[in-house]
Structure 1
Amino acid sequence: MSYQTDLRQFAEYLHTTYELEKPAQADHTLIRSWIVTLMEQQRDPRTVNRKIACLRSYYKFLLRTGVISKNPMLRITSPKVGKKLPDFLPEDSLNGLLNSFAFPDTFVGVRDQLIMELLYGTGIRLSELLGIRHDDVSLPARTVRVTGKGNKQRVVPLNPTLLQVLERYIALKQHEFGSGDNARGVLLVTNKQEPLYEKFVYRTVKHYLGQITTASSQQHPHVLRHSFATHLLGKGADLNAIKELLGHANLAATQVYTHLSIDKLKAVFEKAHPKA
C-alpha cells in the first residue's frame, strides 16, 4: 500500500509539474527533481528513501518487461539517514515494575509476568519469544534456546528470578490444561490454550509499561530488548558478549548502544583519567 501511494504521488508530480502522462517516460533529472521537492518539504529522510526504493523496484520492473531500455534510477543516490538511537527505560523504573508490581497469582497473571521477564531478562525479539517451545527450555541448565533471524539458533541464560517465574508458569499451565503439549508444544499460550500472537504481546507489554511511562514510543516489546542491552553495557558487560546475547550478525548493530551509555562513560573518564 505504501508503494502504491508513492507511485501515485510520483505520477501526480510528473503530470502537474512537467505534464508528463507516463512515469516510464521520466529520466533521472525529473526523478531527482521530485526527490529534491520532497526534501524541501522537510520529509523525513527515511520516508524519502522508502519512496526511492519504490521507484527502484518500479523501474527494474519496467526494464525487465521491456517498457524501457535504460534504468534512470542508476544515477539516483539516496539521502543519508542519521542513526536513530533506540528508546530504553531507566533501570530503576523497570526493575521497580518487575519486582514490586503485584502480578495476579493465576495462570494469566504469571504468564504476563513471564512475558515481561523473558523480554527484559533475555533481550530476545518478539518473534523469538513467540517461537519458544517447551523443549527449548532447560531448567537444570538455566537456559533457553531461541531461533532468530535466518533460523539461526542461540542459547541464552536465564536469571534466577526469571527461572522461578518460568517454573511457576509451567506448573500453572500443566494444572490449567494438562501436560499434553508440555513436551514439544509452544511455551506461551492464551487462556484458551492457543499460541500467543504479536498483537496479544503488544497489548500486554503496553499495559504494564504504561505503569511507568506515558511515552507511547516506550511501550512496546522492543523497548525491553533495548533496555536489556543498554543496562548490560552500563554495568560493564563486554560488547561482544552483548552481541551474542542479542543474536546480532555483526558488531556494528550492537555498537548503537554505546551511544546510550555516554553518561556512564563520562563518569568513568572523570574518575579514572589523570587530566579529568
Structure 2
Amino acid sequence: MGTGTADARAALPPALTEVLAGYEEHLRSQRDLSEHTVRAYVTDVVGLLDHLARRGGEQPDHLDLAALRSWLAQGRTTGHSRATTARHAAAARSFTRWLHRAGHATEDVGLRLVSPRAHRTLPDVLAPDQARAVVESAAGAEEPIGLRDAVVLELLYASGIRVSELVGLDVDDVDRGRRVLRVLGKGRKERTVPYGLPAEKALDAWLTRGRPALAAADSGPALLLGARGRRLDAREARRTVHAAVAAAPGAPDIGPHGLRHSAATHVLEGGADLRSVQELLGHASLATTQIYTHVTVERLRAVHAQAHPRA
C-alpha cells in the first residue's frame, strides 16, 4: 500500500476505519484472496471512503449512490481510463455488497451503480514458430540455472499456467507418470493441468541434475529454486521469459502472461473447445476465456486478407 493510501486511511473517521478493517478481514479470511488482490481491493476502497469523508460522510450508511457516482466521475476528470473506472466500480460494488450483508447498511447501494465497460484489448501472442524458438532457447543447457530456465519456459508454454502458479509448485505437485501438474490458482482453487513430452524431458534434467545442485537447507519442497537455493521468485521467472523472447526473431515483447496467452491461442487453433481451454487456464468465467476466440478470429482475418485473391 502506497504512502498516499496509508495517509488517507489514517485520516478516515473512526466508523469508516472500523468497517474498512472488517472488510479487509473478510477478504482475507472468508474470500481467501491473495495478498496482492486484497491490497488492490483495499486501496480502491480507501479512495472511495476518503472521497466520502471529504463530502462530509462519517458513517458507513452515509455511502449512497450519489457518492459512488461522484467518486467515479472525479476519477474520470483526473484522467482515469475506462479500465480503471470499471475496476473502481467493481471494487465499490464488492464493498457495498459486504456492507449490506454485514449489517452496516440497510441496502446495497452498489446494485444501481453503472460503469463503462473496459475495452478488451487483444493480447500479443507468439506465432507457433516463435513460441518454439522461445521455449527451446535454453535447450542443451547443462548448468543448474540453465536447466531451471528450460523448465520455466517449457512449463509456462506447455501448461498455460500463471507465473505465480508456476513458482508456487512443489515437487510433489508434479505427477510425472500422468504428466500433469496440481496447480493452486486464484481463490486457492485447485486444478489439474497437463504438460507434454518436451516439458517432461526438461523436468527430468532439472530434477536429476539441476535442482540437487542448488538445493539448500531452506529449499523446502519447492519445485523451482533460485541461485541461493530458495523458492524461485516470480520476478526472476519473468526475467527469464523476457530474455528468451528478446532473442526470438520478430517476437513481440511479452512476459509469462504472454506465453499463457500464446498457449491458449495455439490450443484453440489446434481444435480445442472453449470449455476445455477455460478449464486449462483456470478461468472462473467462460467470458474471460472468450477473448481468445477474438484472437484467433483476428489472426484468421489477417491471413485471409493476405492470402485470398478477393480479400
Shared fold (TM-score, shorter chain, > 0.5): yes
Residue deviations 1:110-167, cap 9 Å, x none?
1011101100111112222122222222333333222323443333322121111111
- Structure 2 counterpart of 1:138, one-letter code: D
Mean Cα displacement is larger for which, 129-138 or 116-125? 129-138
Scaled by the length of structure 1, what TM-score is found? 0.73
Mapping for residues 81-96 of structure 1, pairs under 5 Å: 81-96=118-133
Distance 1:235 1:243 in 2: 15
SS of structure 2 residue aligned to 1:49: helix
The count of residues paired between Structure 1 and Structure 2 equals 262
Mapping for residues 256-275 of structure 1, pairs under 5 Å: 256-263=291-298, 265-266=300-301
The offset of 1:185, in angstroms, is: 1.8
- Contact 1:143–1:158 (Cα < 8 Å) also in 2: yes
Question: Does residue 117 of structure 1 match 2:154?
Answer: yes
Scaled by the length of structure 2, what TM-score is found? 0.66
Residue deviations 1:16-50, cap 9 Å, x none?
xxxxx557678644653553454455531222234
Distance 1:202 1:241 in 2: 26
Q: 1:36 to 1:175 in 2, by over 3 A?
A: closer
Higher relative contact order (CA 8 A, sep 6+): 1
The residue number in structure 2 matching 1:157 is: 194
- Contact 1:88–1:218 (Cα < 8 Å) also in 2: no
Distance 2:180 2:80 in 1: 45
Question: Does residue 241 of structure 1 match 2:276?
Answer: yes
Distance 1:9 1:103 in 2: 57
Mean Cα displacement is larger for which, 40-49 or 253-262? 40-49
Distance 1:240 1:71 in 2: 33
Distance 2:229 2:149 in 1: 14
Give me the CA root mean square deviation.
4.0
Structure 2: runs of 5 or more not aligned: 6-42, 306-310
SS of structure 2 residue aligned to 1:171: helix
- Contact 2:65–2:113 (Cα < 8 Å) also in 1: yes
Larger Rg: 1
Mapping for residues 175-214 of structure 1, pairs under 5 Å: 175-176=212-213, 185-212=221-248
The residue number in structure 2 matching 1:136 is: 173
- Structure 1 counterpart of 2:229, one-letter code: Q
Distance 1:244 1:230 in 2: 14
Mean Cα displacement is larger for which, 139-148 or 255-264? 139-148
SS of structure 2 residue aligned to 1:146: strand
The residue number in structure 1 matching 2:69 is: 32
Distance 2:90 2:212 in 1: 52
Q: 1:35 to 1:154 in 2, by over 3 A?
A: closer
